[in-house]
Amino acid sequence: CLPRRGFRTSMDRFTSTELYRMTYVAVPLIAGGLVVMGKDTHFRNLRNGYAPSFRYHYDDYLQYAPAAALLGLKIAGVEGRSSWGRMIVSDAFSSLLMFGAIASLKYTTKVMRPDGSNRHSFPSGHTATAFLTATMLHKEYGLTRSPWYSIGAYTAATATGLSRQLNNKHWLSDVMVGAGIGI
C-alpha cells in the first residue's frame, strides 16, 4: 500500500503544477491533430458528401466573439480576475506568442488548403484565435464569476473551427492543432 500512496502523492504534485494546468488540454489536441493528419481526406470527403455547398463566412467574425464578450464585460464594470492593465498585458503577450507560432508553422509547413486556394492551411489561425480568446474569457470570468462564460466562449470557438472545415478552408488536423495552440 505504501508504493501506491507515493505514486498518488507524486501524481497530485504533478497535476497541481502550472505546467500541467497549461498543457493538459492543449497537448492532446495538438498530438491528436498530428495523428489524424493521415485521415484528413476522409473527413473532407464526409464534408463534401453532407455539406458540399456550405459557404457561410460568419467564422471570420465569430472567432472574435469571446474577445468582444471579455471587453464588453470589462467595460460594463463586471469584476473579473485581473485589473485592466494586467489583463491587457497578459492577453497581448499571449496573442503575440500565438500569432508567432501560427505564422511560423503556416509559412514553414506550406500545407495546401482543402479548396486549393493557397498553401497556408496548417494550422488554422481562425481556430487558434477563437480558442485563445475563449481561454482569455474563461480565465478572466469563467473561473471567477460563472462557468457559463467559459461554456459560451468555447462553444463559439468550437463553432469557428467546425465552420472552417465546412467552408473547405481547413483540414481537421489544422483545426485541432490550431485549437491546441490557441489554448
The per-residue pLDDT string of the chain (183 residues; one tens digit each, 9 = 90 and over) reads 445 667 777 767 766 777 767 777 888 899 999 999 999 999 999 999 999 999 999 999 999 999 999 999 999 999 999 999 999 999 999 999 999 999 999 999 999 999 999 999 999 999 999 999 999 999 999 999 999 999 999 999 999 999 999 999 999 999 999 999 999
Question: Is the overall model pTM greater than 0.85, yes or no?
Answer: yes
Question: Grid coordinates in use for 51?
Answer: 455539406
Question: Grid coordinates in use for 13?
Answer: 504534485
Q: Which residues contact 11 (CB under 8 A, 6 or more apart)?
A: none
Question: Grid coordinates in use for 3?
Answer: 508504493
